[in-house]
Amino acid sequence: MSTTVTRRQRSLLASAITTLLVSSVATASSHREAPYITQNPKVDATDFYLFNSYEPGREDYVTLIANYVPLQDSYGGPNYFTMDQNAAYEIHIDNDGDAIENITFRFTFDNALPANGEGVALTIGDQQVAVPLKAVGPVSENDQSAANFAESFSLSVIEGDRRSGSISMATDGSTGATTFAKPFDYIGTKTLGSAEEYTRYVTSLTNSGSVFHDVNIASCGNASAARVFVGQRKDSFAVNLGRIFDLINLDPINIEDSVSNDDLADKNITTIALEVHKSCLIGNGNGNGVVGAWTTASKPQVNILNPTGTFETPEVAGGAWTQLSRLGNPLVNEVVIGLRDKNLFNSSEPKDDGQFATYVTHPTLPAIINAVFNGNSELSGDSIAPNNLPRGDLVAAFLTGVEGVTQMSNVTASEMLRLNTGIAATARDAQSNLGVAAGDLAGFPNGRRPGDDVVDLALRAVMGAFCHGIAVDLNGDGNIDDQDNLLLCGATAEESRTAAPVGTVGFRDGAPQNSQQFMNAFPYLNTPIPGSAN
């Protein structure tokens, strides 16, 4: 979309685009992004979203979505994809700019068998024998007697330090209960019915008349009403995953968008979604309405296998909480952080991110792309990687937020997803999947929405798209031309263009990602794919 901007808006937009160049230099979301997390899929965060709610009538609310348990094949029975009972799944909010959490939303889970923990049994001859499956017949909104398993969750709200702060429990808006039902994964249409019937089943477990729970968060004061959804959804990310990581084994210039290019099109994930009033997040912090957020998963430091394991205790866990997964901006740990430091990044906190600065000032992904494609007839030259090193400008944008847009009054260098709660949401049908780069200031990197296509944007940005003129009338002369240059890569437009020899190439991976693929209401992500359609 084309717009005319003021000089101050031009400066802010330039900073915003700079953030894009850093936080999206990669080609897949956080599915198995570090060596050790591959051994712990139940605590592997796949995507994290933070955005001003665009559901009509929810303008004063913010939605936070953390997806876990990657690459779920919908037919992956008979035990499907429960969460880890010994883990703490957390969403952290920094609202005063010190890169330390002020608020933490902690989700914990419990798995149980019915019939006093014994489970459903059938009479076989003169014996009562426990069944091997999680459902022994159809399960519906009206009849759940055939269910042989129940998963539930609780939400703790922690003010201050995540481990020593003040804790309160989110409560059911109707009954005051502190435990909430998590629905069955979508086993298939014979067990749980059609997609519409599955949605009605999920709704029957809540108090809202929809798939989410209405909850009260006492620490939010007068804005205590919130919404929570926890359950399986269709994977919200789209990427040509196999070919991208096979040294970009595709034609990134001429490939056409097609669902057939999305290797996650038949996968599900487990979603933790929360919608709260923005006043609850900004609190009494820096006063400019900007918050930073990230999600983590932690487990007790010691896990001892039970040699006579039971359903409830296959292992015994104890000791201090130890963080295994971390995700703020998408894509960072995949191809920005060096292999030797990926596990360290997952266990670190934003306040300590100075240790990773070199990966931003001297990013390696452009050099890898240069090695793969240099010599291509359409990508000619001695080097096709941008040459404006070191990237000190990227350090400022990547670790501090964008002044006037996503920067807090107090600035501490740190990697997290930042959102200006004062910038109005863009309606779903008007959103650009390239966010700020296309003039949609409510999109990435001002938070992240499900429809923001961080893959196509990353492929273009990492090779210098924003060293060249963009389709925004930055200088206010009424023309869209190459003089509308953000000057991110040099002191003049010519110097900036020269720094990125292939910056005008429309790189893409061919996997479509846009807002029209998602619902227009909380929790936004789509009904999961059934394990069986029969």
Could you give the CA distance from residue 294 to residue 271 in angstroms, rounded to a whole number? 15
> Position 451: which residue type?
G
SS3 labels along 157-209: EEECCCCCCEEEECEECCCCCCCEEECCCCCCHHHHCCHHHHHHHHHHCCCCC
Could you give the CA distance from residue 82 to residue 69 in angstroms, rounded to a whole number? 9
Secondary structure of residue 305 in the 3-state scheme: strand
Contact 477, 2 (CB under 8 A): no
Question: Would residue 525 count as lying in a domain?
Answer: no
Please give the pLDDT value at position 36: 83
Look at the pTM and tell me if it is higher than 0.85: yes
Please give the pLDDT value at position 440: 86
Question: Would residue 301 count as lying in a domain?
Answer: yes
Beta strands 150-159; 180-182: pairing state = antiparallel
**Domain span at residue 376?**
7-517
Tens digits of residue pLDDT in 348-386: 999 998 898 888 778 888 788 778 776 555 555 567 878
Question: Considering its fold, how many domains does the chain have in total?
Answer: 1
Question: Would residue 28 count as lying in a domain?
Answer: yes
Question: Would residue 526 count as lying in a domain?
Answer: no
Give the residue ranges of the chain where pLDDT is below 70: 1-30, 284-287, 374-382, 390-400, 402-404, 470-474, 480, 484-487, 534
Look-up: residue for tokens 């939400």?
Answer: 155
- The three-point CA angle 140-144-149 to 5° equals 120
Please give the pLDDT value at position 2: 38
Q: What is the DSSP letter of 427?
A: P
Tens digits of residue pLDDT in 128-176: 999 999 999 999 999 999 999 999 999 999 999 999 999 999 999 889 9
Could you give the CA distance from residue 146 to residue 103 in angstroms, rounded to a whole number? 40
Cα 439 from chain centroid (whole Å):
22
Contact 386, 505 (CB under 8 A): no
Please give the pLDDT value at position 402: 66
Please give the pLDDT value at position 13: 38
DSSP characters over 337-361:
S-GGGHHHHHH--GGGGGGGTHHHH
Question: Would residue 125 count as lying in a domain?
Answer: yes
Please give the pLDDT value at position 30: 61
Report helix angle 454-462 to 7-23, nearest 10.
100
Could you give the CA distance from residue 337 to residue 357 in angstroms, rounded to a whole number? 10
